[in-house]
Amino acid sequence: MHGAGVLLGGRYRLDERIGGGGMGEVWRGTDEVLGRTVAVKIMLPALLDEPGFVERFRAEARTMARLKHPGVVNVYDYASDATTAFLVMEYVEGDPLSRTLSRVGRLTAARTMALIAQAADALETAHQAGIVHRDVKPGNLMVRANGTLVLTDFGISRSELAGLTGTGTVLGTASYISPEQAAGQVATPASDVYALGVVAYQCLAGRRPFEGENPIEIAMKHVREPPPPLPGDIPPAVREIVLRTLAKDPANRWPSAAALVAVARQAAATLGTGGVPAAGAALVPPPGSVPVSPPVGQLLPPTSPAAPARAPDPYPSPGPVYQPYQQGQAQVPTQPVRYLSPASPPAPVSQPRIGPDRPSPLAVTAVILFAIAVVICAGLVGYVVRQLVDGDGLADLFSLTNLLSPSKDR
């Protein structure tokens, strides 16, 4: 079809064929004007005979060129003539995920969820621009050396703005095709979510959910059969995420790629930060070493960093105060109530003393009467003493004594 050294558009030299599929071939090439390495996707000549294909593909290439996201491959140029139509894109240094899986077999749950979150984030950007990829698969997910992922090959994507294809057109790879695409219905963003769920299943199980002798048999399994169970060492939360992504009815899947991003990132953070393993990386840890995560919707948030040390509190609290426990959330002690300032509490106001040592009113009255009696007695004694001192006082005293004494003569 094409060979190394061929110059397309008088500018792009083909250097090495790096892939191919149902839509055409992908070459690593060189932009001789700017002197940079590019990826060139050349469409099959048969597609050029399709009425309106060139115009529709050009319109979608323009839409794709406006996408700005680190996880979406950049589109540089598009050209066509009577015999050739090609798309010039960013050349991504790295390995396709398909090559990584063929090398290591399976990925850990944490690394799978981190990868799916990146891919779903890139798909969300395309969906927001009205573009459905239609061919999400490991071969179109390029992993850079630093572990970041780039979604490539929008060559058969369907633009909702341009209306590339309609009902009855089946495009894509059978092993990753959604049930609605297999049934000849229009692909939607939910179709890309399903295909990404097949990728996640393959990363976790080391195999695709459906296999067959031919593409038709595989496509019918996507329509009719439930996916086989995932391995037993997959955490329940991750299992639920993937199974919901693979729902036959699009309405039962995650409502958008953005929703899938949120749950996949949370699962990856809960299980431990992960990415795609480099060459020679370890396979899935043995059973028992993979932490079990709570069900979806109850994933715990990542642990916050430890607070810096603080000076001792002059008024220590008797202990932490816990908020009521909510399922799926860790109990976190709240700050105990403290004084606003270290000032001492005010002294208590003194009250009148009331007790048995305080005299009662009756005792006070008795004391007063006793004092009056003492005064009267003292006055009488003084009068008697004065009378004794006088001359006749003593005789009068004896007379008085005789009068008061009883007489035998009377």
- Tell me the residue type at 49: D
Q: How far apart are the C-alpha atoms of 220 and 217, rounded to whole Å?
A: 5
Q: Are 31 and 40 in contact (CB under 8 A)?
A: no
CA angle 58, 59, 63 (to 5 degrees): 115
End-to-end CA distance of the chain: 179
Q: 261: Cβ–Cβ under 8 A, 6 or more apart, which residues?
A: 117, 120, 121, 124
- Tell me the residue type at 267: A
Q: How far, in Å, are 201, 231, 251, 265, 294 from residue 270 at the CA level?
A: 19, 19, 27, 9, 9
Q: How far apart are the C-alpha atoms of 88 and 27, rounded to whole Å?
A: 10
* Active-site position among 135, 233, 249, 313: 135
Q: How far apart are the C-alpha atoms of 152 and 257, rounded to whole Å?
A: 17
H-helix or E-strand spanning residue 160: none
Burial bucket for residue 110 (CB in 10 Å: 0-12, 13-18, 19+): buried
Tokens 């003593």 locate to 394
Q: 266: Cβ–Cβ under 8 A, 6 or more apart, which residues?
A: 299, 301
Can 135 be counted among the known catalytic residues? Answer: yes
Tokens linked to 283: 């396979």
Catalytic residue numbers read 135
